[in-house]
Chain A
Amino acid sequence: MLQVEGLYLRRGNQPVLHGIDLQLLPGQVVGVLGPNGAGKSSLLSVLCGELQPDRGHVTLQGRALGDWPGQARAQRLAVLPQVASLDFAFRVDEVVAMGRLPHATGQRRDAQIVEAALQAADALHLLDRSYLALSGGERQRVHLARVLAQLWPGQDGATLLLDEPTSMLDPLHQHTTLDAVRRFADQGAAVLVILHDLNLAARYCDRILLLEQGRCHAFSTPQAVLTPAALKAVYGIDVLVQAHPERGHPLIIAR
C-alpha cells in the first residue's frame, strides 16, 4: 500500500505537482490521466522515489519510502518505465528473471514464476527468443512480465507502478496487458497505471486520478471522473459519454 499526502514538487521555479493526496489500496487499480505535461510521469517518479518531493511525503506500508532498504522495498514495489533500454542480447526468460533479483526464492521457484509472469503478459511464446530480436510491443510485454515476476504472485502488500504500459501495443495486447494487470490487482496488489486512452482507463480502473497542470482535477470512480464537462475542462475536447452496452462502464466518444 502506497500513500502520499500534500505532495508538492518544483522543477526550477515551476511547480510541477501540487496538493496531491493519493492512496493506492490493495486490490485496486488507479488510473492516472491527464494531457501532456500535466505531471503524470513526475508523479510516478515521486511515488517510486526517483524524485524527492519538495513538500509532502510518500509512505510504503506506513513507512517512509526513503527509509526502506533497497532490497526490501524492491520486494514490495515494482516500477515499469515507459521505455527500457537494453542493448545486450539477453534471452527473454533472463530479462524476466531479473525481476527475481530482490528475492532469494531459489532457481526452481524463480523459473516457475518467470513462466507464470510471461504467461500472464501473453509472452510465454517469446521465452527463449533474444530480447534484441523483439519488436517494441513485445519488449514492452517482456518488461511487464519482469515487474510482475518481481511482485509475484501479487498478494496484499505489493505495489505496482506502470508508466503507459500499452503505448506500443496493438489493440488486442492493450487489452490482454491491462487484463493481466487487473487480475494481478485482484490477487491483492495495489496498482497505479498511467494511461492515455480514456476508454481503456474507464474499463480497467477502479479509480481515476485526472491531473490538470499538476493539480488533482478529480480523483474518483470512472463514472464520476470521466464526464463531458471534466474532459472539456482538462483536455479541451468535446465528447459524448455513454454507458458501455454490455459492461456498463463509461464509453467516451469524441464529437
Chain B
Amino acid sequence: MMRFLFAPLALCAGLVLSGHGLAAELPQRWVSAGGALSEWISALGGEAHLVGVDTTSQHPPSLKALPSVGYQRQLSAEGILSLRPDVLVGTEEMGPPPVLTQIRKAGVQVELFSSKAEVQAVDQNLARLGQLLGAQAQAQALAANYRQQLDALHAQVRDAQAERPAPGVLLLVGHAGAKPLVAGQGTAGDWVLTQAGGRNLAEHQGYKNFSNETLAALDPDVIVFSDRALADEQALQALLKENPALAASRAVREKRLVSLDPTLLVGGLGPRLPSTLQALATSFYPATPTPSNP
C-alpha cells in the first residue's frame, strides 16, 4: 500500500532513494537468512512478520513451515522478491553479493548483522532488530539478560578454575558418527568450549579431520559431540562405533561425553546459547554446585 503511494515520489527521487521512503514505516514482511537472527526475531515477538527463512533457520521449529529461500550464501534474487519482503536480514555471510545488489535495487531493505562470536555483536544485533521491529525495550531487556547470564557463567567458571585446572576438551562435529571434524582455533565451536571453561586441545585453525590415532593421543577429559544426522544417544553410539580409538580416552572411560546442538555453531550467537554454555560448564566442572537453571 505504502509502496504504491510512494512509487511516483520514488520515481522522481531515483532508485537510490526509494528505500528511504519506506524507512519511516516499520518493515512488515521479513525474510531472514541467518539461524541466530531468526531465533532473535522470534524471541522479540516478530515471528509473525517472517515470510521466508533460509536453511540455517531451524529454531524455533515452527520456522520450518515457512518458505525456504535456500542456503544463506546462495540466495536467489527473484525467489526472495517473490515473497514481497520489505526487509532482508542476514549476517555478513549472506550472498552472493550480486544477488544482494539486485535485491537492494528492487527497493528491498537489506540489513547485514554481525555473525561474530562476541557479546558486543549480540548487543548491536539486538538493538538494530529491536529498532526494525519496533520492540526496542524488549530488545534491551533481552540483551541485558544475555549479558547477565554470560557474566554469571564467567564468574562460575573463574571460581571453578581457581580450584582445579580446566579440562582438556575436544569438539567433534560429525555426520552419523563418521569422520568427525575437530573444531580448531577461531571457530564458533572453540568459542563455545572456551566460554564454558574448557581448554580446546585442538590447536589447528578451522574444522579439520583427525586420524584415529591423533584423537586417541590427545586424550581429552571431555568430548563434546555435535551430530547433524543423529540425535544424542544414537549419535554417541555411532561416534564410538566409527572411531574405536576414542574408547581408550579418559573422556569415554569416565563417560564424560556431552552432545551439542549443531545449529548453535552457525550464524552467530543466538538466544539459546547461554543455557547451553551453562550446561557445558556444568559437565566440565561436575562437582561445582549447580546454580539453578534459568
**A–B contact (CB under 8 angstroms):** no
Contact residues of A with B, CB < 8 Å? none
